[in-house]
Every structure is written in structure tokens, then in C-alpha cells.
Amino acid sequence: MDGGFPIDLVLFGLVAAFLVLRLVSILGKRTGFEQPAERVIPEPAGRSASPVAAPLIDGVAETVAGVRRVTPAPDSTLGQSLAAMARIDRNFTPERFLDGAEAAFQIIVKAYAEGERRTLHPLLTSETYAAFEEAISARETEGHVQKTDIRSVESAVITQADLHGTNAVIAVRIVSDQVNFTVDQHGAPVSGADAVTEMTEIWSFERDLAQSDPAWRLVAAHSA
């Protein structure tokens, strides 16, 4: 590892060199599901998070730059799954993964809102990218413009960690404050509101830990 940014960051993305490089340095590697993963369906701007009580996670909490991050206790089932991943990839740590999950979240949300396909492509699985691209194309056909501003990320909590052979998947519950709305070609509001809304979402990333490609890629995302 070189400073705070490991050499393997270089492989994480194609575009937005600085942002993607930073993202790769943190997330590091990619995982895979043994069964078909849930398809990501981008939700329309202005959606509001459901007030569902979050499950309790037995783990260790820390605050990094204002974000509350929770990693599972080492002796928990989740903790043991993460330890097994670390035995395959010695550069893996839950803390580093959460750094990257937060960075990925911010980059992907911004790129989706702005229709930046070249930024999204290397950060998503092929099926997930297809869903995002379809939603972006539909928005462009209508002449709509999405306005998204992530005001803050309040917390990032690992809620699932599965390992099948060398294929791994990690799910993260992310709570953020966002302004999210859509306008038409004349600037008239279509959906959402210019107001801060708390969003709670589960984002799942995958990677084959045996591969040299260090990128974790988004495989699923949905409201919690």
C-alpha cells in the first residue's frame, strides 16, 4: 500500500480519473453471487425512503469524517465471513471496504443523475449497467433532467457478507440526506421536490477475490 492509496486503485475505473482512482483505492476488489443477483432498478427522482426500522448489527461502530460506520463483530457470522474474505485477499479489510462503498455510492448517484454512462460502466455489473442505461435513455427521450445533490452520508453499515468459493458479495445499508427532483425541458418540475430527504438504501457489491481485477462492482441497490 502506498500512502492511503494502494497501487491497485488504478484498475477501478476508466473515467473521472481522480474520482475513480480514489474509489478503486478504497474498494479494492470485486465479488460475485453464486445465485443470480437482484437486478438494480434505478428509482425515479424524488422517491422518499420508507420509515422501516433498521435491523440491529452486532459490531463495532466508528465515526469517520462525520459518517457513522459499523463493521460486524469478528466473532459474529458476518465477521467470520469477512475474515474468510481477508484470508483470500490480504488487502481486504471491512473498514477499507466501507470507505470505498461510500465513495462508490456518491460517484454512482451523481453519474446516474447526470447521465454519465462512461463513469457508470466500469463501476457496475453488466446487468446493473443495462438497467441504469435504460432509465437514463428513457429520461433523455422525455427531455427530463434529474437534479441530485447528496448533502451528507449519515451512516454505512455492513448488513450481509457471503462467500461462495472465491466469489464474495457484501451488502451495505447507507443512510444519506439528498435533494432529488426532476424537471422537464422547460425547467418545470416533473417529480420530487427541492427539499432535503433522508434516504435509506441497501447497496450490494460483488467481486471474485481470486481475480487480479481489484474492483468491487455494484450488483444491486434498493430502498430499505
Q: For residues 163 and 147, is the Cβ–Cβ distance under 8 A?
A: no
Going residue by residue through the chain, which has 224 residues, state the pLDDT in tens, using 9 for 90 and above.
Answer: 444 444 343 333 333 333 333 333 434 433 332 333 344 545 544 443 333 333 333 445 556 556 788 889 999 999 999 999 999 999 999 999 999 999 999 999 999 999 999 999 999 999 999 999 999 999 999 999 999 999 999 999 999 999 999 999 999 999 999 999 999 998 999 998 889 999 999 999 999 999 988 889 999 999 98
CATH architecture, range 28-223: Roll (3.10)
